[in-house]
Amino acid sequence: MRIGGVDFTWGRRTYIMGIINVSPDSFSGDGLTGVDSAVEQAMNFAAAGADILDIGGESTRPGSLPVTTGEELRRVIPVIERISAQVPVPLSVDTYKSEVARQALEAGAHMLNDIWGLKKNRELACIAAECGAPIVLMANQREEPAGDIIPAVIADLTRAVEAALAAGVAEENIILDPGIGFGKTVEQNLELIRRLGELKILKKPLLLATSRKSVIGHTLGLAENDRVEGTAATVAIGIAAGADIIRVHDVMAMSRVARMSDAIVRGRNE
Which one-letter amino acid corresponds to residue 264? I
Query: Which class for 243: exposed (0-12), middle (13-18), buried (19 or more C-beta within 10 A)?
Result: buried
CA–CA dist 156, 94 (Å, integer): 19
Of 131, 202, 204, 117, nearest to 164 by C-alpha is 117
Query: Which class for 24: exposed (0-12), middle (13-18), buried (19 or more C-beta within 10 A)?
Result: exposed
Q: Nearest 5°: phi and psi at 209?
A: -120, 90
Catalytic residue among 195, 247, 259, 266: 247
Catalytic residue among 13, 102, 213, 227: 213
Q: Which three-class secondary structure string do you get for 128-182?
A: HHHHCCCEEEECCCCCCCCCCHHHHHHHHHHHHHHHHHHCCCCHHHEEEECCCCC
Active site residue 268: no
Q: Nearest 5°: phi and psi at 137?
A: -115, 125
Active site residue 213: yes
CA–CA dist 159, 93 (Å, integer): 22
List, by residue number, the catalytic residues.
213, 247
